[in-house]
Structure 1
Amino acid sequence: MLFPVSGVETPLWVPPLTALAVSFVTSMGGVSGAFLLLPFQVSVLGYTAPSVSATNQVFNIVAIPGGVYRYLREGRMVWPLVIAVTAGTLPGVFLGALVRVAWLPDPTAFKAFAGLVLLYIGARMARDAARGGGGRKAPSGPMAVTGARLDWRGGEYVFEGERHTFSTPAVFGLCLAVGVVGGVYGIGGGAIVAPFFVAVLGLPVHTVAGAALCGTFVTSVFGVLFYHLIAPFFPGMAVAPDWRLGLLFGLGGLVGIYLGARCQRFVPARLIKLLLTAVILFTAGKYLLGFLFN
């Protein structure tokens, strides 16, 4: 089938099946899978226009609610983190969208940028795994988060009898920077925020996943809206998303993220991180080698 907006030609089953497989694994770590679907669209489907970033965010809008619902149902949504992530990444996404269209429209430069982003994410997670971080087993008891609070200095919550804390200014500042990267890359920022929470702040992956997905959903909604608003200012350039293609990816992701969120409680945190690290580093290497030897 041909998608006129993006110029992509692919069988109808390819986008949803690919999204389902990717998001099932990545959603366990609080990542929608958009950061891997973007290189798939660029390298496999040949979708290199700037609008691929907006199309990727359409995927987030359609796919994420299933996982958010599951984490809410299990009482694992850490609202202080949701607020901090959203407040920081939202303004950054707007700036990132402008950077993508104005300074990174060339697919060659964009591949190099994407590869560096993925390399950073993978290196952080690989270092943490090598140090033995996140080695706890899958939770065996009730998983509800309790005692959550947030003020301008910091936030805290209780999970499995342990109290976890974080600095509000530090999280906000990080998420602001991440928002810019996420706006450029079309991922909403969750693919960087979730590993940071786990590897740097030491928060349990079984609690940050819901917050990262929820924040990604909110920023993706505004990211798509912003791409639509700036599209008239860049005539002759594909800026607005390909909704039909984005919806196909999103439908597969909706199923994948829901199943990933449902199964996550049975998977050890370290295994989740190792799976994500392997996939991220492989993709980063492919992009950077392709850029160097292009």
Structure 2
Amino acid sequence: MTGTGVTGHDPRVNPLEAGLSALAAGFVVAIVTTPVGVSGAVFLLPIHLDVLGVPSPAVTPTNLLFNVVATPGALVRHHRTGSLGGPLTSRLLVGTVPGVIVGSVLRVYATPGEAVFRILAACLLGPLGLWLVLRRPRPPAPETTAGPARATITALGFVVGVVGGIYGIGGGSLLGPVLVGLGLPLAAVAPAALASTFVTSVAGVATYGVLSLVSTGPVAPEWAIGILCGVGGLLGGYLGARLQPRVPEKALRILLGLLAVGLAAAYLVAALT
């Protein structure tokens, strides 16, 4: 089964209008979230679900497709600086890639209902929002700080991969603060988390593509929406990075945190009533 393009599953939606909305959504979300260091995919999924009308569970791989298109620009920048190498990336991928496959299978066969998915989304958005609101700047960890054991990193990657396969995020927003909190330097964490997000998202989209061949219902990503959102995210992320020194990071972070908490509350109310 394949996606239905920018029209979603509602024939009343104008394809051009839906395509422009997807492009604009990816651009706006990325330009706002990039200065705060949060993945735009976390906030884009509610737009896919409630504004663009992407059905469930196709909304998850569509969100992952956003990561596939939107992150290569930042990866190229890290590659040019030589910061993409190192063992951290490979240790994360050993966990995240199998994790996203497991999460994708769970999403299709264990949590297909929209009410259950909204509860799961609330469980992710709520803590993330509180973390954004309550986060305090920390001094960077020194390069010589002993980080977590290899098995701990791989296990963390697996858990994040499962969450990514269910919710539709690559996991960088979850991996970054946890790894820094465990004592790893931000300079090493940022490129590794981004690379993990990209590869995990590719694996997730591929897994949903395979599952769509053996499952009923809308399982494959909405390719046009995901790609157009990703192009918008690529452009918005570049501009957001350029504007980062000029924006009030704290105010923007609190605003996004309150938005995440509000979305979580709204999802819980909608799912339980």
Per the TM superposition, whether the score is higher than 0.5 is yes
- Shift of residue 208 of structure 1? 3.1
Which residue matches 1:177?
A: 159
CA contact (8 A) 2:141 2:186 kept: no
**2:61 pairs with one of 49, 54, 61:** 54
Partner of 1:242: 222
Query: In the TM superposition, what are the counterparts of 1:99-118 in structure 2 within 5 Å?
Result: 99-118=106-125
Offset at 1:110? 0.7
Distance (Å, rounded) in 2 between the aligned partners of 1:201 and 1:208: 11
Shift of 1:230: 1.4
Equivalent-residue separation in structure 2 for 1:275 and 1:89 (angstroms): 30
Inter-partner Cα distance in structure 2 for 1:123 and 1:26: 15
How many pairs are equivalent? 265
After superposition, the C-alpha distances for 1:172-213 in whole angstroms (9 at most, x for unaligned) are 111111111110111122232123234x32555565333222
> How far apart are the structure 2 equivalents of 1:117 and 1:275?
17
* Distance of 1:214 and 1:25 partners within structure 2: 21
TM-aligned CA distance change 1:111 to 1:234, over 3 Å: same
Higher strand share: 1
Q: Give the alignment of 1:1-294 within 5 angstroms.
A: 3-4=6-7, 6-7=9-10, 9=13, 11=17, 12-77=19-84, 79-127=86-134, 129=135, 133-135=136-138, 162-167=143-148, 168-198=150-180, 200-203=181-184, 205=186, 208-235=189-216, 237-264=217-244, 274=254, 276-292=256-272, 294=273
Structure 2 letter corresponding to 1:109 = V
Per-residue deviation at 1:32?
3.1
Give the whole-Å Cα distance in 2 for the aligned partners of 1:122 and 1:79: 31
Structure whose residues are more often helix by fraction? 2
Change over 3 Å in CA distance of 1:36–1:78 after alignment to 2: farther
- Aligned equivalents of 2:262 and 2:179: distance in 1? 22
Displacement of 1:108 in angstroms is 1.4
Q: Distance in 1 between matches of 2:244 and 2:144?
A: 21
Instruction: Output the TM-score relative to the length of structure 1.
Output: 0.78
Q: What does residue 145 of structure 1 align with?
A: none
* Unaligned 5+ runs, structure 2: none
**What amino acid sits opposite 1:232 in the alignment?**
L
